[in-house]
Amino acid sequence: MLTGQSILCFAPDPWDDLWRNRHQIMSQLCQSNTVLYVEPRPYMRSVLRDLRRGQFGPRGPRMRQVRPNLYVYRSPRYAPLSGRPPLSTWTEALRDADLRRTMRRLGMERPILWLFRPDMADLPGRYGERFMIYHVVDEYTGYADVEGADVAGRIADIRRRERGLIADADLVLVTSKTLLASKGGINPNTHWVPNAVDYPAFAAAARNGEEPQELAATPPPRIGYVGAVNDKLDLGLLIAVAQAYPQVALLVVGPERLTSDEARRNMERLRALENVRLLGQVPVERVPEFVAACNVGLLPYAQNAWTEAIHPLKLYEYLACGLPVVASAIPSVREEADAAPDLGIAVAEDRAAFVASVGRALAEDEPQRRALRQKRAAQNTWSHRVERISELVALGLQRDGG
């Protein structure tokens, strides 16, 4: 593993949010490096909105230690992102000065700069970094909020910013082969490193068999989706599953972040079904017990530019608990199903096939296949992924004389 480095990670989500690959990777790297996890920078519009409501944002220190060698930093709300100079120049200088003071307190010099989004294109070169990583986890032009009067203009701006980051990065990481195909022609040091699983935590939950207290009144069998409830889901598909199996509980575990009116209407329809349990977000350390409490794991994605490029973390989490998996026709899931056909991952081309596959998965009782799934998950852990990333960074540092 990479050792003795300072890592400045600008993350697109708060540390206490639903855990994604950056949380897992930084939790591994902090074992032998100093990591400063920078939460999303506040925007002027959101700060002004909160002030009008009498809300002044998060309280407490702007930097806190969450693990040995891992610190979480929150940008000052008195210096939000603002689009136009001279205000944007002033707030940028205030943010940078505060962050540099924090870095000095931690003894961070010449850090590895780790970026995740095209809207971070203004950050390279500002913190004396020795190495820059751009980590692509989604097709950002496919996000549901990229819409409005000037969709084409917004997409063009995202692509322009991203091309610049990819070209300037010392290392580009992508999480799916779809992303490798679309992003890999710009920087020769672009590598596919798929998502993974905290295998010990999920395998232990499956082995212990202790069910969450919240499910005491919801006996098995249970079908489950555990993850963010956002516009990449096909909520109509979840409704069809719940209606097809009214005697089976459908668990939906994760925060709701829906932006479209249609998605919100479908969520209310789902909420009205008697066999559906909407449990909201649970602490990261409890996610494995909810997955292990299910009999079938679902990946019910809509078919669009966003989902075409994803590599779901939930896939290996379900497998680590030995669950049969039923998925929409997502390329990365199909690749896994083809690579390991003995696991019985069902990839459905349409709604009818998805619903029928759930029925077959519920009827399955094959301990041998369960063991095979867990074995496959054990080959795809976050420690494996971080070792691979560490190798790529070490090669890059050596090449650059770092």
* CATH number, position 328: 3.40.50.2000
Which string of b and e fits 267-278 if b means at least 16 CB within 10 Å? bebbeeeebbbe
In the prediction, which pLDDT does 50 show? Answer: 67
Burial class (CB in 10 A: 0-12, 13-18, 19+), 217: exposed
What pLDDT shows up at residue 55? 66
Domain count within the chain: 2
Whole-number pLDDT of residue 154: 87
**What residue numbers bound the domain in which 295 lies?**
199-378
Q: What is the pLDDT of residue 57?
A: 63
117 and 216 share one domain: no
As a whole number of angstroms, the distance between CA 205 and CA 288 comes to 6
The model carries a pTM of 0.94
- 149 with 248, same domain: the answer is no
Residues 56 and 173 in one domain: yes
Whole-number pLDDT of residue 82: 76
> How confident is the model at residue 280, as a pLDDT?
96
Mark whether 176 and 68 lie in a shared domain. Answer: yes
pLDDT digits (tens, 9 = 90+) for 278-304: 999 999 999 999 999 999 999 999 998
Q: Which positions of the chain have pLDDT values less than 50?
A: none
Q: What is the pLDDT of residue 209?
A: 87
Return d(Cα 143, Cα 175) in angstroms, integer.
16
Q: Is the same domain home to 261 and 351?
A: yes
281 located within any domain: yes
According to DSSP, the residues that pair with 266 across neighbouring strands are none
| Residue 182 counted as domain residue | yes
Q: Whose structure tokens read 């890592």?
A: 7
Please indicate, yes or no, whether residues 348 and 221 belong to a single structural domain of this protein. Answer: yes
The answer to whether residue 161 sits within a structural domain is: yes
User: What local confidence, expressed as pLDDT, does residue 341 receive?
Assistant: 95
Backbone angles phi, psi at 185, to 5 degrees: -90, 5
- The answer to whether residue 1 is domain-embedded is no
